[in-house]
Amino acid sequence: ADNFGAGPTGLPLPVLQRVLDEGLSYGDSGMSVMEMSHRSRWYDEIQASAETRLRRLLNLPEEFSVLFLQGGASLQFAMIPMNFLGAGQTAGYVTTGSFAKKAYSEAKKVGSVRIIASSEDSGFRTLPAIEGSQVPQDLAYVHFTSNNTIYGTQWQTWPTDVVPPVVADMSSDILSRPIDANRFHLIYAGAQKNLGIAGLTVVLVNQSWVHDKSVAGLPSMLSYQTHLDNDSRYNTPPAFAVYVLSVLLEWIEEQGGLPAITARNEEKARLLYGVLDNSDGFYQGVAEANVRSKMNVTFRLQNQDLEPEFLSAAKAAGFVGLGGHRSVGGCRVSLYNAVDLAQVERLLTFMQTFRSKH
Ligand code: PLP
Per residue in 301-343, pLDDT tens? Answer: 999 999 999 999 999 999 999 999 999 999 999 999 999 999 9
CATH of 13-254, one of 3.50.50.60, 3.40.50.300, 3.30.310.50, 3.40.640.10: 3.40.640.10
Q: Which residue lies with its CA nearest to atom 14 of ligand 1?
A: 72
Pairing of strands 166-169, 283-285: unpaired
Common-topology check for domains 13-254 and 257-357 = no
Instruction: Please give the distance, rounded to the nearest whole angstrom, from the Cα atom of residue 201 to the centre of ligand 1.
Output: 10
List, as residue ranges, the binding site for pyridoxal 5'-phosphate: 73-74, 99, 149, 169, 192, 235-236
7 DSSP 8-state letter: S
pLDDT tens for 193-219 read: 999 999 999 999 999 999 999 999 999
Q: Residue 228 to residues 60, 62, 91, 208, 268: CA-CA distances in angstroms? A: 16, 14, 23, 11, 38
Q: Are 334 and 5 in contact (CB under 8 A)?
A: yes
Indicate the burial class of 346 (C-beta count within 10 angstroms; 0-12, 13-18, 19 or more). middle
What residues flank ligand 1, with Cβ below 6 Å? 7, 72-74, 99, 145, 149, 169, 171-172, 190
Report residue 31 CA to chain centroid gap. 31
Instruction: Please give the distance, rounded to the nearest whole angstrom, from the Cα atom of residue 354 to the centre of ligand 1.
Output: 32
Q: Are 76 and 148 in contact (CB under 8 A)?
A: no
Give me the mean pLDDT over the 164-168 stretch.
Answer: 97
**Domain ranges (residues) in the chain:** 13-254, 257-357
The pLDDT score that the predictor gives to residue 29 is: 97
Q: What does the alpha-carbon distance between residue 69 and residue 224 come to, in Å, rounded to a whole number? A: 10
List, as residue ranges, the binding site for L-glutamate: 39
ipTM of the complex, rounded to two decimals: 0.99
pLDDT tens for 33-48 read: 999 999 999 999 999 9
If we measure between CA atoms, which residue out of 102, 97, 144, 155 comes closest to residue 295?
155
- Top mutation candidate among 93, 171, 201 for ligand 1, by most atoms within 8 Å of CB: 171
Instruction: Please give the distance, rounded to the nearest whole angstrom, from the Cα atom of residue 99 to the centre of ligand 1.
Output: 7
CATH of 257-357, one of 3.90.1150.10, 3.30.70.2190, 1.20.1070.10, 3.90.550.10: 3.90.1150.10
pTM to 2 decimals?
A: 0.98
pLDDT tens for 178-189 read: 999 999 999 999
Instruction: Please give the distance, rounded to the nearest whole angstrom, from the Cα atom of residue 231 to the centre of ligand 1.
Output: 24
